[in-house]
């Protein structure tokens, strides 16, 4: 193969050899530019943009955490007079949830089970309960037969967290 290329090269005049050399050099430069340098530059710019976005998100999260740490740790007085099972049942009804099981375990503790609930609805309901002074002690969630839903078992407790 190399012998044939050397013979082909030697058959060309010096002017043709010079033109072929320039053509090969330009092809190599074009390949280097568009095949190596431009993709590496785009990757570097993309990485820089991703880093800047991640840094901004990190700063926003740190600011939110700092703001949350300044909030009082005591449970709000809203709803403390109502029994826990009534508070949970009323909140579930307002959120459109059906409690499969709601078992009181003393005055300030309750075990619940929900057969099928969308995670967004579940967590907004739990946030509403948290605003009323009820927190989740333990929770177990598994995918339910309904697509995009989970079945949940949780223990809810009244009072502030640890």
Exposed / middle / buried, residue 70 (Cβ in 10 Å: 0-12, 13-18, 19+): exposed
Q: What is the pLDDT of residues 62-90, one digit of tens each?
A: 888 888 788 776 655 544 567 888 888 88
pLDDT in tens, the chain (162 residues): 899 999 999 999 999 999 999 999 999 999 999 999 999 999 999 999 999 999 998 998 888 888 878 877 665 554 456 788 888 888 888 888 889 998 988 888 999 999 988 888 888 888 888 888 888 999 998 988 888 889 999 999 987 655
Task: Write down the pLDDT at residue 15.
Answer: 95
Task: Write down the pLDDT at residue 16.
Answer: 95
Sheet with 109-117, side-by-side order of all strands = 101-104, 109-117, 150-158, 134-143
What distance in Å separates the CA atoms of residue 144 and residue 123, rounded to the nearest whole number?
16
pTM beyond 0.75: the answer is: no
Helices (H), 12-132: 14-32, 38-69, 84-95, 119-131
């Amino acid at each position: 193969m190399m012998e044939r290329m050397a013979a082909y090269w030697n058959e060309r005049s010096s002017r043709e050899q010079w033109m072929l050399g320039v053509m090969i050099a330009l092809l190599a430069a074009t390949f280097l530019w568009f095949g190596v340098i431009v993709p590496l530059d785009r990757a570097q710019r993309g990485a820089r943009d991703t880093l800047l976005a991640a840094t901004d998100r990190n700063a926003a999260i740190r600011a939110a955490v700092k703001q949350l740490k300044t909030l009082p740790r005591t449970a709000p007085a809203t709803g403390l007079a109502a029994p826990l099972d009534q508070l949970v049942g009323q909140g579930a009804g307002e959120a459109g949830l059906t409690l499969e099981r709601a078992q009181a375990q003393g005055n300030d503790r309750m075990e619940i089970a929900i057969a099928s609930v969308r995670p967004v609805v579940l967590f907004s309901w739990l946030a509403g309960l948290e605003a009323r002074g009820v927190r989740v002690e333990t929770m177990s969630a598994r995918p339910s037969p309904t697509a995009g839903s989970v079945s949940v078992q949780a223990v809810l407790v009244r009072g502030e967290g640890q």
